[in-house]
Amino acid sequence: MNNDPQSSPRWVHALLHSLWPVALLLGCHLWLGLSAAHRKTLTFDEGLHLAAGESYWVANDYRLNAESGNWPQRWAAVPVWLEGNRFPPADDSAWINGMRYDFSNEFLYASGNDADSLIFQGRVMIGLLSAALGAVVYFWSRQLFGVIGGLISLSLYAFSPTMLGNGWLVTSDLAGALFFTAASWSLWTFLQRVSPFTVAISSFTLAGLVLSKFSGVLIVPMGLLLLGVRLCNSKPLVVALGGRYAIRGRLKQLAVLAGAMLLQLLVVDLLIWASYGFRYATLNPSARQEVPFTTAWEYFADHLGMVRPVVEFIGERHWLPEPFLYGFSYTLSTTEARRAFLNGEFGTHGWLGFFPYCLAVKTRLEVFVILLLGAAGAWFWRGTSGRDGRLSSTNPGSGHLYSLTPLWVLLAVYWMFSLTSHLNIGQRHLLPTYPPMFILAGAAACWFRAWPKSLANQPRETGRKAVDVAPSSPSFSHQVLWGARVLLAGSLVLAMLEGLWMWPDYLAYFNVLAGGPAQGYKHLVDSSLDWGQDLKELKRWLDAHPDDTHDPRRVYLSYFGEASSTYYGIDAIRLPGFIDVPAPGVPKPLAGGAYCISATMLEGVYFKFPGKWNARYEDLYQQLSKAVLAYRQAGGNADAIQQITSSIGAPSMDQVCQLYEQLQMARLCAFLRQREPDDNVGHSILIYRLSDAEIQKALEGAPVELLPDCEPEAKASLPIRTMN
């Protein structure tokens, strides 16, 4: 039986080779992502990215968020800028002092703008980049594995919870994934054929990469590896410049490629300068202000290591703009340590297994099945030829591995970087590795071809005789082919259904290995699950459960995020969260009610007292509890208050109250970690219905979670040194 797609009915062949299936899949991707985005609140960094992009257009000033790239922020802010929304004045204190999050909140919520409209406009722009990345995945896979391979890759991409969860956020993560993929492909194409077109496309994608994510510098080792592989190949280098020339000899090829790469470097440098207004200084000269940087330049001196002299050398000669150098230095120096959570553990220097674990529990299992089918198919069909389901022969070089070189190099270099990274705060930092995986999955298309004749005639050794056995029989070939096809088709359908099933909670996706999204908070938090995206959904939940919230004073909220709960009409008592703005004065006692706790806060990652509850926390909690009780009883008596603060060595009663609130919340979360939530909102905000008796037990009873001492990673950041 001939199963080659070329023998399919003509209309099937015409449909597969048209762009209608591609348009349909990309349309589904956009609809799923943007319809989900419309239901979700501002995530933690989106307001900052949008406000920074707006400031680049309006003020030609780069004091905000220089570490997060330039192009993604500018791109997201284009419709916001063109619409002429209100921008805080030049004398705004948050603007003058470079207070990034305060300024973004003013821009979104305090300037008379429609915050939801601004956020959605920015998300639409990032959604277009996500669709562009889907197109790159399809066409690269199609070049390697044929039309069916391209559709397999695009189907996995279009319905991926990972891509749908990050493909509409106003951050630089999706743009980084787009340009990592596009730059790898265009650079590899340029290394096979040097022409004005390949040089221009490669220059553009390389500039887009370094202007989207500073991790884009990884393209340097990637490019060197690709260059080495290219020079080891015996095929001539094609140069199309006023004619077509075949360059032979490695030294000649190296000379041509080095000259073209130097030209690319100059173009990239020009595009960087253009992106910063052809000005070295971070601030617009018309501002006439000295703005403090988020982190002083002096801080970098001790944290840049061997890179410091290079940065200083480039800066002194003004080879690159100051905000670009500052953003790179900030990114490099602040990733040495960062609070993180993994499977009940708190840490600041990361774990070697963090990102492999992210990949294992937050990737659809069907993707791994299809990758295995592709690997098995590549083994069976090695050395065969055919029009569909094979690697393209248009690229110079011989062998399948050569054509796949840029994909493997991208995965290898990026994974080596990820495994050694201390920045373990989210699966989103693995985003550039997903498009190559989806492209490689396209190799499974070979199962839609006929069984290789070379295998059908192979005998197998049995004792001393070579006899024909099952592998050579048509029935065996038929069974293997159709078994693989059914498994492939079933895996694709399940993968697409999972994408539909998770709508709109894509950030919260976890596969069955982790117990599904309902159990995700026990494994990973922060941007892998809870990035502050569900305040709108919480409002819907509160409106749908009036019996739980008949008294607004009995709704409590500990929120991880930047959005405003009051903007969405959530009437709740605010508990310590992050970002936290503590109220002055003595805290009110907690009572029974509906406790809405962000998963990141439940795990204690960003409290002043992080990690699990321990003896040191308990001793300080009891000490501060007595101080707060005495403060309440003092009734404003200055002498009594002075005596309280002096007895525990605190500079002020406000600090005592703030630390007490943080410890009280940490103790409550330790209590709640021992039970399952009663409900959840988008799997990121957990709902606990607690009685007065349960609150009393949590705050006054014996601690249910008590370590002998702080976890080592938590000791360095404890705010209790003043309590002598």
Say what the pLDDT of residue 457 is: 52
Say what the pLDDT of residue 94 is: 83
Q: Which residues, in sequence order, are CB contacts of 492 under 8 Å at separation 6+? A: 152, 155, 156, 366, 370
Inform me whether the pLDDT recorded for 677 exceeds 90: yes
Say what the pLDDT of residue 319 is: 94
* β-pair partners for 686: 597, 680
d(CA 82, CA 691): 52
Answer whether 81's CB lies under 8 Å from 12's CB. no
Q: Which of 220, 222, 186 is nearest to 201 (CA)?
A: 186
Helices (H), 6-114: 10-16, 20-39, 46-59, 71-83, 93-96, 100-109
Quote the tokens at residue 531. Answer: 């990035």
Quote the tokens at residue 510. Answer: 């976890």
User: C-alpha 190: how far from its chain's center?
Assistant: 29
pLDDT bucket at 397, cuts 50 / 70 / 90 = very low
d(CA 514, CA 702): 31
Say what the pLDDT of residue 473 is: 53
pLDDT tens-place string over residues 11-61: 666 767 778 999 999 999 999 999 999 999 999 999 999 999 999 999 999
Say what the pLDDT of residue 553 is: 66
pLDDT bucket at 98, cuts 50 / 70 / 90 = confident
Inform me whether the pLDDT recorded for 267 exceeds 70: yes
Say what the pLDDT of residue 436 is: 98
Quote the tokens at residue 582. Answer: 């503590």
Instruction: Please tell me what DSSP assigns to residue 294.
Output: S
* β-pair partners for 578: 560
Of residues 102 and 264, the one with the higher pLDDT is 264
Inform me whether the pLDDT recorded for 475 exceeds 80: no
Percentage of the residues of the chain whose pLDDT score is greater than 70:
85
pLDDT tens-place string over residues 320-366: 999 999 999 888 887 777 899 999 899 888 899 999 999 999 999 99
pLDDT bucket at 296, cuts 50 / 70 / 90 = low
d(CA 629, CA 100): 37
pLDDT tens-place string over residues 185-239: 999 999 999 999 999 999 999 999 999 999 999 999 999 999 999 999 888 999 9
How far CA 322 is from CA of 50, 269, 276, 289, 328, in Å, comes to 21, 13, 9, 16, 10
For residue 82, the tally of other CB atoms under 10 A from its CB is 10
d(CA 279, CA 540): 48
Number of continuous H segments (helices) and E segments (strands) in the chain: 29, 12
Region 668-675: what's the mean pLDDT?
Answer: 95
Inform me whether the pLDDT recorded for 446 exceeds 70: yes
d(CA 704, CA 700): 11
Region 381-391: what's the mean pLDDT?
Answer: 53
Inform me whether the pLDDT recorded for 715 exceeds 90: no
Q: Which of 484-488, 612-616, 704-708 bottoms out in mean pLDDT, i.e. has the lowest?
A: 704-708
Say what the pLDDT of residue 636 is: 63
Inform me whether the pLDDT recorded for 683 exceeds 60: yes
pLDDT bucket at 720, cuts 50 / 70 / 90 = low
pLDDT bucket at 131, cuts 50 / 70 / 90 = very high
Say what the pLDDT of residue 388 is: 43
pLDDT bucket at 145, cuts 50 / 70 / 90 = very high
Predicted structure pTM score = 0.91
Say what the pLDDT of residue 168 is: 93
Say what the pLDDT of residue 474 is: 56
113: alpha, beta or left, given left = phi > 0 and alpha = psi -120 to 50? Answer: beta
d(CA 564, CA 581): 12
Say what the pLDDT of residue 526 is: 94
What does pLDDT average to over the chain? Answer: 87
292 φ/ψ angles, rounded to the nearest 5 degrees: -70, 135
Say what the pLDDT of residue 639 is: 62
Region 76-101: what's the mean pLDDT?
Answer: 87
pLDDT tens-place string over residues 10-25: 766 676 777 899 999 9
pLDDT tens-place string over residues 312-321: 899 889 999 9
d(CA 714, CA 608): 9
Answer whether 340's CB lies under 8 Å from 425's CB. yes
Beta strand extents in 464-523 (DSSP E only): 465-467
Percentage of the residues of the chain whose pLDDT score is greater than 90:
60
Inform me whether the pLDDT recorded for 454 exceeds 70: no
Is the bond preceding residue 321 a cis peptide, omega within 30 degrees?
A: no
Say what the pLDDT of residue 3 is: 43
Of residues 552 and 520, the one with the higher pLDDT is 520
Region 71-80: what's the mean pLDDT?
Answer: 96
Element (H, E) at 556: strand 555-558
* β-pair partners for 540: none
pLDDT tens-place string over residues 522-550: 999 999 999 999 999 999 999 998 877 66
pLDDT bucket at 87, cuts 50 / 70 / 90 = confident
Say what the pLDDT of residue 398 is: 40
Inform me whether the pLDDT recorded for 288 exceeds 80: no
Say what the pLDDT of residue 451 is: 67
